[in-house]
Amino acid sequence: MTWRTMTAIILGAAALAGCGQQAKTEAPAPAAGGGPKPLASIHELMLSVVDPAADEIWGSVATVSNASGVNEHRPRTDEDWAKVRNAAIALSEAANLLVMDGRVVAHPGQRIDSEGQPGAPTGAIIQKRIDGDRASFAAYAAGLQAASMEAVAAVEKKDVAALETVGGDIDVACEACHEQFWYPPTEPAKPKS
């Protein structure tokens, strides 16, 4: 196929798309299939994307003391810095994935970490909390995104101190969301007798 036939096909498709507008009754409106489809649950995003990416950033700067002395662990090679950058990019985009319409807390059968402990919420309870205050959930996700972008900036400057500070900011962003939506106990504390 030459690029000319390609162009003809593309133009043809565009013309057809135009026709669709006039013949609405015959051609169904584009199905939801064309848009983004949330597949993983929030639970899965936490375990597969958010947590590993944050660990990569947190683990990149550390002071390790052992028998052989104190070892300042920090990114040194271009490869080290690229790993941290990749994690920061993944984390900043994960924040968008978290707030996608239709993203559920957990799929049937998925057991969240604390489930079963006295007073710990089930996925259904966390879902209710999020559905009841999507604005706060989105604000926390935006906070995580901002902190992750700061991590990207620290990497661009190869600024180890900034990377360490930003690691703290990321932790604060994680915990802010967890404290409102995940950690609060579901049963009121029993009055002391």
Closer residue to ligand HEC, CB minimum distance, 42 or 166? 42
Answer for which of 20, 38, 51, 89 binds ligand HEC (CB under 6 A) is 51
Give the span between the Cα atoms of 130 and 136, in whole angstroms. Answer: 8
105 binds ligand HEC (CB under 6 A): yes
Distance of closest approach, residue 115 Cβ to ligand HEC, in angstroms: 8
178 binds ligand HEC (CB under 6 A): yes
Closer residue to ligand HEC, CB minimum distance, 50 or 155? 50
Give the span between the Cα atoms of 81 and 64, in whole angstroms. Answer: 19
Distance of closest approach, residue 118 Cβ to ligand HEC, in angstroms: 17
Distance of closest approach, residue 84 Cβ to ligand HEC, in angstroms: 14
135-164 binders of ligand HEC (CB under 6 A)? 137, 140-141, 144
Closest CA to 190 of 129, 126, 118, 128: 118
Tell me the residue length of the chain: 193
84 binds ligand HEC (CB under 6 A): no
Rounded (5°) CA angle 99-104-108:
165
Written as six digits, the tokens of 107 are 């799929």
Closer residue to ligand HEC, CB minimum distance, 55 or 156? 55
Written as six digits, the tokens of 90 are 């993944």
Give the span between the Cα atoms of 170 and 144, in whole angstroms. Answer: 6
Distance of closest approach, residue 130 Cβ to ligand HEC, in angstroms: 6
Written as six digits, the tokens of 144 are 């995580």
**Do the Cβ atoms of 88 and 8 come closer than 8 Å?**
no
Positions in the binding site for ligand HEC (CB under 6 A): 42-43, 46-47, 50-51, 54, 98, 105, 112-113, 126, 137, 140-141, 144, 170, 173-174, 177-178, 181-182
